[in-house]
Amino acid sequence: MPLIAVYPGSFDPLTKGHLDIIQRACRMFDRVIVAVSNNPSKKHTFSVAERMQMVEASIVDLRNADVDTFSGLLVDYIKAAKARILIRGLRVVSDMDYEFQMASINRRLYKEVETVFLMPDEQYTYLSSSVVKEVCRTGANIDAFVTGPVARLLRRRFKARK
């Protein structure tokens, strides 16, 4: 039975830190589903379709990675996907408190799920989607932070120059 992992997030937008986590997970698991959250109560810069498009364009070379969307409880999505592994990225120590709580809740709701924490390459530990959007709004170059397709969408959204 293939080992399927789910890497959930808003990916608003996908950063090279996210991509690093996806690539690492693809080396560890048979299949990785990048699950773009569809939470209407959150205010996103990009629609679910745009966020999925960014991810798809950025992982085109990863044969064992797919993109999907989910709403509702993550563990329900994981069960439906027949996955047992939940991937979470940790950038800084302060991320651990929240992620530990979520891992505990998810395990309580679905005993079969194991949460695997991955740290991005150190060059991406400072990187967040919020920081990337703020840098783009100022017109600064964002190429070191996101893939080409993501950079183009961000620049269009914020009408920024390279």
**Does 157 qualify as catalytic in the annotation?**
no
How far is Cα 137 from Cα 140, in angstroms, rounded to an integer? 8
How far is Cα 84 from Cα 154, in angstroms, rounded to an integer? 34
Among the options 42, 63, 111, 159, which is catalytic?
42
pTM: 0.94
**Does 44 qualify as catalytic in the annotation?**
no
Nearest Cα to Cα of residue 32 among 86, 91, 89, 106: 86
3-state DSSP helix/strand/coil % of the chain, to nearest 5: 45, 20, 40
Residue pLDDT, tens place only, 78-127: 999 999 999 999 987 777 899 999 999 999 999 999 999 999 999 999 99
**Does 42 qualify as catalytic in the annotation?**
yes
